[in-house]
Amino acid sequence: MDITFGIAILIQVITGISANGFLFLFYTHKFYASHQLSSSDFILAHLALANIIVFLTGGVLNALEIWSLGNFLDDVGCKMVMYFYRVARGLSICNTCLLSVYQAITISPGTPRWARLKAKLSKFVLSSCLLFWIFNLLLGFGAPMFVAGPRNGSRDRITLDFKYCTEVPVSEATNLINAVVLCAWDLLFVGLMSAASGYMVFVLHRHHRQIQHLHAPGRPPEAMPEIRAAKRVIVLVVFYVLLYGRQTIMFSVLLNRKENSAWLVNSHVAFSITFSAVSPFLMISSDRRIRTLWKRESPLSNEDP
């Protein structure tokens, strides 16, 4: 059974790092080529970077452990890896939330109040990303307190994020405070992104005909950039919320079990990186610039008819 999860994690790590790396390099190239980057592209580049860090800290090392390729982390190594994993995980949820809020504001009605807000969007995005780094770097400091390096013969429970580190025994009150703070932080952004996605669905449904009249008469609604971008973000948010709900339920089950089964722990670890592995493909498939680039660079498109 460990081999099955090892294959699943390895596939996610390889495809996830490749896809996120491609996205990050694509947006970086766009910036250096034009010396400007749209706010949505900046958020997506930031999200891709966070996903890469998730894989480098969590995915790669978990794959090594499941495939029994050795554990080279000591106590300090485990604490550092856990810290950067928590920071990257936090950045991932924050940027997904920011992307949904940004897109909701973008497709909002052209009233004077919304127009003033749209004019400040670029500054809002830059300041938000900076604050996300600050807050997550500060919140991440609590993570190393709860983990230590591998201990031979130790009866300490293995952490639910990393199988190669062990939990440091702490009081139930400390565990409760840590869990409440982390859950409240996550639920805040899950709630915001859900509300923003619900608002986008409402706006698209209410103003579908008005938006259609702004474009060419024969152009299908699905081809409009506003609808494409909104649908992309809505799918991304729904996917994240479903995975977050699944992981929350599984985390609660594992916490309430006296002895955790290897199957449940492996399942929790495998699904913890699924969003980071799948989300870049949602971005790539819905970005016409990337599809155009692939068609132009494809050998088949250069063949003479």
Contacts of 255 (CB under 8 A, 6+ apart): 160
> Whole-angstrom Cα distance, residue 215 to residue 190?
33
> Could you tell me if residue 12 is inside a domain?
yes
Mean pLDDT of 216-242: 71
**Residue 5's closest CA among 50, 67, 71, 61?**
67
pLDDT at 24 over 60: yes
> Could you tell me if residue 291 is inside a domain?
no
> Could you tell me if residue 299 is inside a domain?
no
Determine the 3-state secondary structure of 171 from DSSP: coil
> Could you tell me if residue 289 is inside a domain?
no
> Could you tell me if residue 192 is inside a domain?
yes
Percent of the chain with pLDDT over 70: 76
CATH number of the CATH domain containing 272:
1.20.1070.10
Number of H helices, E strands in the chain: 12, 2
Q: How many domains does the chain have?
A: 1
> Could you tell me if residue 59 is inside a domain?
yes
| Residue ranges making up the domain that contains 253 | 3-147+156-216+223-284
> Whole-angstrom Cα distance, residue 142 to residue 168?
12
Cα 156 to Cα 66, 152, 182, 210: the distances in Å are 19, 10, 22, 61
Determine the 3-state secondary structure of 133 from DSSP: helix
> Could you tell me if residue 279 is inside a domain?
yes
Check residue 134 and give its pLDDT.
Answer: 94
Check residue 137 and give its pLDDT.
Answer: 92
What is the model's pTM?
0.84
179-222 confidence digits (pLDDT tens): 778 788 888 999 999 999 998 888 887 766 665 555 555 555 55
